[in-house]
Amino acid sequence: MSVLPFSPRLPAFAPIHPLGRGPLGEWVSLVWPLEQGEQGDRPLVVKTFLLAPGLAPETRLPLEEALTRAVPLRHPGIARLHGFQVDARDTLTVVSDYVPGCSLATARRRVAGRGTRLSEAFVCHVGAEVAGALHAAHATKVVHGDVRPNRIRLGPRGEVTLTDFGLRPACRLLRRFTSPARPDEVAPLPAPEDVAETRVEAREDLRALGRLLLELLTGRAGNPTGAPASASVESRAELEEALREVSPAPREVLRRLLLDVPGEGATAARLQADLRACLDGGTRTGAEWVRELAALPGTGPLSPVDVYVGAASVMTVPVRERVLKS
């Protein structure tokens, strides 16, 4: 029985394909919805997190509230959260849209392996799209709080999608494995002060995005585990030095975002407009963004799972024809 009495129920689904482990140790699976609804005939992703055992209800409350606020979000650049649940075994299950393509973290590793870095135009394109998603969320008083490369997906047609709204409080509540060979052995329960959730404001989302864009533009190595974009440059002098490696237009945008005192105009909508103004005339198409990223003309960063999903969606019959009579 769910311990989240006010949480939406999980949509019915059938498993399709396991996708492995996520950056926080969660199990990720591709599933197919068995109900007709807003999700349509598209695959979904189920993420299963193991929470630390014995957490008090008041300790879980920030996680419950964050996920509940994220469920109504609707925007083309936001992966929709369809439902979540915590059961009596301290297992958090989250069902959200499946976003084809690859993560920004994978893209960064891919181009680094070729000895290059993403172009400034591509980075500004990604930043503008993420800022647009943040603007839609901030307008409904929802803060992401965990903008990092693993949370940003790059689609096969140049789409940019921000995922995992509402999951920031889970990071402090997850079961901590002490031995990969013995996954049931966990660290002691964290102290209450260790899981206390500090209030995150919308401008922290923008600063996290700005630090991430600076890392991409300068080629500075981020955290290999995909941790939030905490720039290796922290002092004002170091930030100024890093910004000198960037072209004038994006340099001004990032300087205003990272160094100036935030004012009333420091919004995600303003950041989106500024980054779009930095693009090279705005004439590049989504396919051109994908070719730059994947070096696969005409195809984009499709994985074998994406190809499998595409074939499955073509072969799938309508839901009411799949239901068997009892």
User: 67-92: per-residue pLDDT in tens?
Assistant: 999 999 999 999 999 989 887 778 88
**Cα angle for residues 292, 145, 105 (degrees, 5° grid):** 25
pLDDT at 264: 67
More confident residue, 172 or 120: 120
Q: Which of 118-122, 154-158, 254-258 has the lowest mean pLDDT?
A: 154-158
pLDDT at 286: 54
Do the two domains 1-99+166-199 and 100-162+201-302 of this chain adopt the same fold? no
Question: What does the DSSP 8-state code read for residue 206?
Answer: H
Average pLDDT over the chain, rounded to whole? 75
Query: Rounded to 5 degrees, what are φ and ψ at 268?
Result: -65, -35
Question: What does the DSSP 8-state code read for residue 304?
Answer: H
More confident residue, 197 or 9: 9
In this structure, is the dihedral angle defined by the CA atoms of residues 19, 38, 167 and 163, taken in order, positive or negative?
positive
Interatomic CA distance for residues 272 and 16, integer angstroms: 37
More confident residue, 229 or 28: 28
Domain 100-162+201-302 architecture: Orthogonal Bundle (1.10)
Average pLDDT value for residue range 286-313: 50
Residue-range domain boundaries for the chain: 1-99+166-199, 100-162+201-302
Please check the confidence at residue 296 and state whether its pLDDT lies above 70: no
CATH of the structural domain 1-99+166-199, one choice from 3.30.200.20, 2.60.450.10, 3.40.50.2300, 1.10.1530.10: 3.30.200.20
Query: Rounded to 5 degrees, what are φ and ψ at 66?
Result: -65, -45
Token code pair at residue 177: 């494995």
Please check the confidence at residue 288 and state whether its pLDDT lies above 80: no
Average pLDDT value for residue range 269-297: 68
DSSP-derived secondary structure for 85-151 = EE-TTSEEEEEEE---SEEHHHHHHHHHHTT----HHHHHHHHHHHHHHHHHHHTTT-------GGG
pLDDT at 15: 85
Token code pair at residue 6: 């006010």
pLDDT at 52: 82
Please check the confidence at residue 160 and state whether its pLDDT lies above 90: yes
- Residue 200: CB atoms within 10 Å: 16
Average pLDDT value for residue range 120-128: 91
Percent over 90 (pLDDT), the chain: 28
User: 181-199: per-residue pLDDT in tens?
Assistant: 444 334 344 444 444 444 5
pTM: 0.78
User: 209-265: per-residue pLDDT in tens?
Assistant: 999 999 999 887 654 434 444 444 457 788 888 888 888 999 999 999 988 776 667
